[in-house]
Chain A
Amino acid sequence: MTTRGAVAHDIAVTVNGVARRARVIPRMLLADVLREEWGLTGTHLGCEHGACGACTVLVDGEPARACLMFAVQADGSRVETVEGLVDGDGGLHPLQEAFRSRHALQCGFCTPGILMTLVAYLRVHPAPSEAEIREALSGNLCRCTGYQHIVQAVLEVAGGPLTPPSPRRGEGERA
C-alpha cells in the first residue's frame, strides 16, 4: 500500500519468529502492516489513540500500542502478537487456557491486547497479587467482562510455570 509522493521504505521484522518484509510509506502504522500486509488480524484496533490497549503487541519483549507506532519504527525488531502465543502444535498458552476456563473473555475484541499485556507482565512479575494484576491491567479497556474473571485467570496461572503449555483441553470440557 503506497500513496503517491511518499517515499516507501523496506522493512524487515521478525514476527512470532517468522522473518517478514514489507515496503511501507513512513506514516503506515504497525497495526495496519500486521493486519493488512501480513494477515495477522488478531491484533485489533479499538480506539486508534493509544487508550484502549486492544492493539497491544510486544516489540522486543516490551508492550507497545501498534496503533501509535509506525511500521518503519519496528524495522529490525522482534514483534510478538497473539497469533504467536500458541505452541507449535496449536496448543493454548497457559494464560489462554486460564482465560477459557475462567470465562475471562466475552466478545473477544480486547482479548489479544490484554493477553499480550499480561504475558509481558507475568514474565517480569510471575506471582502478582490481585491488586498488582488490576494495576497491570489498568491500561487495557474491556467493556464486556468487568475484569473479575480476567483477574481470576491471571491468579490461576500466577506463580505456575508459564512454559511448557498445559495439554490442550478438548472442546466441551466443563469448568
Chain B
Amino acid sequence: MKFVGDRYLRKEDPRLLTGRGRYVGDIALPRMLHAVLLRSPHAHARIVRVDADRARAHPGVVDVVTFAELGSAGRALPIVPPHADLRGRNFAALAGDRVRFVGEPVAAIVAENRYAAEDARELVEVEYEPLASAQTLEAGAPAVHDDIADNLAGRVTLTRGDVEAALRAAPRVASLELHIGRGGGQPMETRGLVADWNPALELLTVWASSQVPHQIRQFVGELLDLAPHQVRVIAPDVGGGFGAKLIVYPEDVLIPFLARRLARPVRWLEDRLEHMLAATQEREQRHEVTIGFDDAGRLLALRDHFVHDTGAYTPRGLVVPLLTASMLTGPYRIPAVESSFESRYTHRVPVTPYRGAGQPQAVFVIERVLDLVARETGRDRAEVRLANLVRAEDMPWDTGLPNYRGSGHVILDSGDPPSVVRRALESARYEALVAEAAAARARGRLVGVGVAAYVELTGVGPFESARVRVDPTGRITTFSGVSTQGQGLETTLAQVAADELGVTPADVTVVTGDTAGVEHGVGSFASRAAVVGGSAVALAARDVSAKARLLAARTLGCAEADLEQAGAAFADSRRPERRVSFADLSRLAGAATAALGVEPGLESTRVFQPTDITYSFGAQVALVELDPLSACVRILGFWIGHDSGRLINPLVVEGQLQGAVALGIGSALLEEIRYDESGQLLAGTYMDYLLPTATDVPTMVIDHLETLSTLNPLGLKGVGESGALPVPAVLASAIEDAVGPRGGRVTRMPLGPARLLELLPPSLAEALDRG
C-alpha cells in the first residue's frame, strides 16, 4: 500500500484553517427565517394551556407552533435499536400535554431574525401544573411515564458459567460499590439545522449538524410523510459530535416541518445553554460488584449489578447499559461472570451514547476491581493485570457474554493485549516510575502512578456503503454513508481509495454525510466510520479499478497483464505511446452497450457488512500529583500503548487518542452534570461545567502496535473512542496510589476538589484543618 499508513496531511485543513469551512450556521439562504425554541422550565409538569397570541403579534414574528399544530408530525420519534426487554418511550417534535425534563421543547417561534424570535419567546404564555419528579434511581420515585409505574425501562442479566458456585469456591472474595456521574459530549459547535422546502420539486433539503444524516432522512420521511427521494439530508462541516449529535432529536423533525409549513427556509441554531439543557448525556450508573480471586491475584468470579439512569426517554433503547454489561470483563479472562442491570427512567435529559458509550463505566469497574485485588494480595497492579489478560494465543477469545447487538457473544477477534500493556509499561519506565513516586511520597508529596488496560468495541455494523465514481472529466469522487465531525475522513477515505485506484489522495474528492451521495448509510459513531466506511470504499474502488483495467485493455488491444498505470492513465507496456486516461474510460463506460460487457459508468457502489465487531486494545499509565491545599490533580506524565489494527493515517490516529484522553480527563476530574432535587440543571454554562483546557491536559506519549483485524479487507480496527475509556480508571488508580494506604479509596467519578479532599490520609487532613 502506498498511502494507507502514511502521515498524510489532511485535505480538509486548508479550508478549515482559513475560515472557509461550511458549518450549518454558515449556511444562509434567501428568505431564510430563524427559529428559537421555548423549553420547559420544569422537570415534570402538565401543560394546561399555551397562549401564543402576543408572541404571534410581535414585530418580525412569522409563526408560533405548538404541539397542536404538528398533526401527524407530532408522533413520537422511532426508537433504535429495538430490544425484547425494552419498555421504550421517545419524545416527539414538541411536548404534548406533559413535559418530562427541564429543556424539553414546548413551542417554536419563527421570525425574520433571531433577535425578534428570542424577544417573542418571552411573550409565549404557558400554564404548567408542576408535578413531583423522579430524581433518584430508587424505587418509588414518581412515574415518568404513566404506564410504567416502576420507571423500569429494562432489566437484563448476562451470565457466563455459575458465578454463585465460583464465588463460593474462591479463596478470597471482596466487594465494591462504585458510582459514576453524568457528563456530555460537548462539541464546540452546538447542534443546528437549516431546512428548505422546494414546492416545485416537492423536495426537502436539510442541512444538519449530525452524525447520522441518513437516519434523519428516514425519521423525517416517516414523520412528515415524505418518500426517501423527497428528503435530502446533508451534514456539512460538523464541529464535533462525540455522541451529542448521534440521535435524531425533536428539532431534526421540527425544523423541516416548519420549513414545509411556511414554504420558506428555516434555520435553528442551538445555543450553549440549550445544549447543556437538552442535548443527550451519559454515564450515570451505580454499581455493586463482588469479586472472587485467589492469592496469586487471578480473577475467578465477577458479579456486577448496576442501576443505570436513562433519563426521560430512550431514543437509543438499552444500548448504553448493554454496552457496560457486555464489555464488563474487558481484556481479562474471568471464568464466571454475572452482569446485570436495571435501566430506570428519571425526569432528566435522555441518556444516549457519548464517546465511549457505556464502556468507560465498564473499564472503571473492572480496573477498580484489579486495583482492589492487587491491594488485597499485596501484588503490583501491573503484574495483576498481566496475570489475567487474554493472551495472543487465546484469540479469538469468547468472553461468554452476549454482545450489545444480541448478534452473538463478545468475541475478541485478534490482538496481543499483554504486549500492548508491556509496551505501555516500558514506554513509561513503569518500575522506575513507581520507585520515583514512592520516593516523592517519602518526602511528603502526594505522587502516584496509575495503570489501566482496556478493550474497545469498534467497527460495528450493520453496514456502510460507498460509491466511487470516475466522471467523464476524469474527476474521482468517493461518496460514503459515514459523516465526519473532525475525524479526518475526507483524507483517510481518500487514502484508501487512492491505493486501490493507483492514484494519489489529492486526486480523490471525498463526499461524506450527504444522503444524495449514497442511498444507504448508517453514520459515524461507535468508532466505526473508518473501519466499516473505509472497507466499503476499498471494495468500491477495487471494482472501479478492475473495470478501468478491463476497459483499458480492450481499448488498447492488449492483455490486462500488459497494462502499465501512470496515475489516472494506462498504457500498453509493449507500446507505451498508446495511452488511455480515466476520463477516456469513463466516457467509454458512459455509453456502454451490451457488447462492451460492462454496466454503464466507470463507478461502483458497494456495501460492507462486517460479520462481527472488531476489538481494539490499549493500556494507559499516568503519573499524578495531588496538591492537598488546592485539591487539584496535576498529571505529570501520560503514556499510551494502543493497538487499533492497521493505521490508515497515524497522524490522525494520534490526534484521536490525544483528544479522547483529554475528554477522559474531563470526565474524571472536571465535568459533571448535576441537578437539584427538583431536576433543575446546576451546570448550565462553561463556568460551572468545566471542559479541560490546555493547562489541564498533559503531553502524551503514544506507542502503536498494529495487529490486523481479520474481519475486514484492510485489517482495520476503530480508535475514535479508545483513548477516553480508561482515563477515569487510570487516574483513580494513580490518585489512590498518591494518597497512599492511609488515604481513601476512589469509588466515584468524577473526582472534583471536594471528593479529592475526602481521599487525603487522616493525618494530612487534620494538619490542613489545623492550618
User: For the complex, what is the distance from the CA of A133 to the CA of B269, rounded to whole Å?
Assistant: 32
Q: Report how far A111 CA is from B239 CA in the complex, Å.
A: 10
Contacts of B187 in A (CB 8 A): 107, 109, 143
Interface string of A19-46 (1 = CB under 8 A from B): 0000001011000000110001111111
Tell me whether A3 and B59 are in contact in the complex, defined as CB-CB below 8 angstroms, given that A47-B686, A92-B17 are known contacts. yes
Closest chain-A Cβ to B726's Cβ sits at a distance in Å of: 15
The 8 A CB mask of A130-159 against B (1 = contact, 0 = none) is 100111011111111111111100000000
Cβ-based interface call for A83 (8 A):
yes
CA distance A133 to B699 in the complex (A): 13
Chain B residues closer than 8 Å to A115, beta-carbon distance:
17
12 residue pairs from A and B, CB less than 8 Å apart? A36-B28, A43-B19, A47-B272, A47-B686, A54-B188, A100-B9, A106-B659, A107-B187, A143-B242, A148-B658, A170-B506, A172-B8
One of B422-430, B484-492, B544-552 at the interface? B484-492
With A143-B186, A146-B659 as given contacts, are A172 and B505 in contact (CB-CB < 8 Å)? yes
A4: interface (CB < 8 Å): yes
Minimum CB–CB distance from A172 to chain B (whole Å) comes to: 4
In the complex the two chains form, is B16's CB within 8 Å of A105's CB? yes
Closest to A134 in B: B694
Interface size class of A (residues with CB under 8 A): 35 or more
**B115 contacts A111, C-beta separation under 8 Å:** no
Q: Shortest Cβ distance from B718 into chain A, in angstroms?
A: 16
Q: Give a binary string over A155-175; 1 marks a CB under 8 Å from any B CB, 0 the rest.
A: 000000000000001111111
Residues of chain B from 425 to 458 with CB closer than 8 A to chain A in the complex: none
Residue of chain B at shortest CB distance from A25: B115
Write out the residue numbers on chain B whose beta carbons fall within 8 Å of the beta carbon of A51: 685-687
Contact of B655 with A by CB under 8 A: yes
Does A96 belong to the interface (CB within 8 Å)? yes
Contact-residue bracket for chain B: 35 or more
Cβ B23 vs Cβ A109 within 8 A: yes
Cβ-defined partner of A108 (8 Å) among B12, B505, B687, B694: B12
Enumerate chain B interface residues (CB-CB to A < 8 A): 6-23, 25-26, 28, 59-60, 113, 115-116, 119, 185-190, 237-240, 242, 269, 271-272, 485-488, 504-506, 651-652, 654-655, 658-663, 685-687, 691, 693-695, 697, 699-700
A→B interface (CB under 8 Å): 1, 3-5, 25, 27-28, 35-36, 40-49, 51-52, 54, 81-83, 85-86, 90, 92, 96, 99-101, 103, 105-112, 115, 130, 133-135, 137-151, 169-175
Which residues of A are found within 8 Å of B115, using beta-carbon distances? 1, 3, 25, 27-28
Q: Per DSSP, are chain A's interface residues mostly helix, strand or loop, or mixed?
A: loop
Is the CB–CB distance between A108 and B686 below 8 Å? no
Question: How many angstroms between the C-alpha atoms of A105 and B239 in the bound complex?
Answer: 11
Q: Known contacts A100-B17, A172-B8; decide if A106 and B655 are in contact (CB<8 Å).
A: yes
Cβ–Cβ < 8 Å partners of A111 in chain B = 16-17
Q: How far is the CB of A28 from chain B (nearest CB, A)?
A: 8
Which residues of chain A come closer than 8 Å to B687, judged between CB atoms?
Answer: 49, 51
Q: Is the CB of A107 within 8 A of B686?
A: no
Q: Check A103 against B272 for contact (C-beta < 8 Å).
A: no
Residues of B within 8 A of A43 (CB): 19
B467 to chain A, nearest CB (A): 22
Can you add 7 more A-B contacts, CB < 8 Å, to A107-B187, A130-B699?
Answer: A106-B487, A107-B240, A141-B693, A148-B699, A171-B506, A172-B9, A174-B8
Whether A146 and B16, one on each chain, are in contact in the complex, defined by CB atoms closer than 8 angstroms, is no
Q: Given contacts A52-B686, A108-B17, are A172 and B25 in contact (CB under 8 A)? A: no
**A84 CA to B28 CA, complexed, in Å:** 22
Known: A47-B686, A96-B18, A138-B694. Is A103-B651 also a contact (CB below 8 A)? yes
Bound CA–CA A69/B402 (angstroms): 55
Q: Once bound together, how far apart are the Cα atoms of A66 and B762, in whole Å? A: 49
Docked-complex contact A110 and B188, CB < 8 angstroms: yes
On chain B, the residues within 8 Å of A151 by CB distance are: 694, 699
Expressed in whole angstroms, the minimum distance between the Cβ of B35 and any Cβ of chain A is: 16
B188 close to A52 (CB less than 8 A): yes
Q: How far does the alpha carbon of A175 sit from the alpha carbon of B25 in the complex, in Å?
A: 32
Q: Given A145-B655, A171-B14, is A108 in contact with B697 using a C-beta cutoff of 8 Å?
A: no
A65 CB, min distance to chain B CBs, angstroms: 12
Q: Are A44 and B25 in contact (CB under 8 A)?
A: yes
* A41: contacting residue among B19, B505, B663, CB under 8 A: B19
Q: Which residue of A lies closest to B654 (CB)?
A: A103
